[in-house]
Amino acid sequence: MTPKRSNSWPWSRRKQIWDPPTALDLFLDSPLRALIQFIYAIFLSLRGAPFKPPRNKPKVKVVCISDTHTNILSVPNGDVLIHAGDLTNNGSVEEIQKQLDWLASLPHREKIVIAGNHDSYFDPKSRLAEDNGKRLKFNNIHYLENKAVTLKFKGGRKLNFYGAPAIPKCGGSSFAFQYNRHEAPWQNRIPLETDVLITHTPPRYHLDLNLGCAALLEEIWLVKPRLHVFGHIHSGHGREAVFWDEGQRAYERLMNRKRGGVLLDIIPSMAWFDAFKVVWHGVRGVLWQRLMVGPGGGHGGMMINAAVVYQSTTEVGNPVEVIEL
């Protein structure tokens, strides 16, 4: 069943923070940031892919899903299937096992799953009382909970995967793996050799409606994974290239500054300086990528919000994301 689409007009206000902001929301929040977000997205599209798969070895096709919320859907085949959490609604063993059985039946050679905040069983602090003592059957699935695994693919290729379920607190005790937003539980947690990072929460300022984790973002600046797959924020679904350069730093710094609304945005401030740096480094990045190294010749990465359910519903409405590494 196709979920009912939002009928919000651009000049209306969104009903809740989990919905995508309308044009009026963006303008009233900060017209400067709204403009730079638009310009930054254009620069990313002009720079093209942040990397190319190796030419002399077979590509690894990665299929990314998240937030299935008990739904069973059609999934393209590939070398590895990643599920970035929220398999279920109530987190019971019964619901989780049905999702695991469905995933195990798929033809992908490798399957990786992490938990989400709705998958209560995996966190003893949120587990349903009736599920104490029960066990799950993972079959051919790699379940990663603050854990890494190295997988081998055709042509002798190896990729290092790391998965973690933790999210900034957003609900009551029935939600799993929550931490207070001011905490920094990611420090020194992600192995530096990680090629593919899988978390349930997005990093801050990337496909997250500004609800992601700033501490996670700082940690992945150290790791710089080739691919980062997450979910949780359904309305953030999509993909975004990251180049780990001064332009991206300036963009994130601008997004982090205190919002001043329409009036304060008019007054010159450090936000203006960051906005100028985003534009300056964006132009340099496009010229460098196009004239010197070529599209896809960089050492950047890709972030994918793989949530398949639409906005605040539990009905499938977003496409499955597929990428080649």
The β-bridge relationship of strands 110-113 and 141-143 is parallel
Q: Are 15 and 312 in contact (CB under 8 A)?
A: no
Q: Residue 2: which pLDDT band, with cuts at 50, 70 and 90?
A: very low
Rg (CA), the chain: 20
Q: Is the pLDDT of residue 237 over 60?
A: yes
Give the other-Cβ count within 10 Å of 203's Cβ.
25
Read off the pTM.
Answer: 0.94
Q: How many helices (H) and strands (E) does the chain have?
A: 7, 13
> Positive or negative CA dihedral for 214, 119, 232, 13?
negative
The residue that leads in pLDDT, 258 or 297, is 258
In tens, the pLDDT along 146-171 reads 999 999 999 889 999 999 999 999 88
pLDDT of residue 11: 66
As a whole number, the mean pLDDT across the chain is 92
Beta partners for residue 303, in sequence order: 228, 240
Largest CA distance in the chain: 62
Q: Residue 56: which pLDDT band, with cuts at 50, 70 and 90?
A: confident
Q: Which domains does the chain have, with CATH numbers?
A: 20-49+245-298 (no CATH), 53-70+77-124+137-242+300-311+321-325 (3.60.21.10)
3-state helix, strand, coil in the chain (%, to 5): 30, 20, 50
pLDDT of residue 1: 44
Lowest mean pLDDT among 54-63, 246-255, 268-277, 286-295: 286-295
**Three-class secondary structure of residue 70 per DSSP:** coil
Q: Is the pLDDT of residue 73 over 70?
A: yes
The β-bridge relationship of strands 147-153 and 178-179 is unpaired
Q: Are 305 and 238 in contact (CB under 8 A)?
A: yes
Q: Are 194 and 229 in contact (CB under 8 A)?
A: no
Q: Residue 294: which pLDDT band, with cuts at 50, 70 and 90?
A: low
Express as a percent the part of the chain with pLDDT over 90: 74
Q: Is the pLDDT of residue 221 over 70?
A: yes
Cα gap 177→126, rounded to integer Å: 8
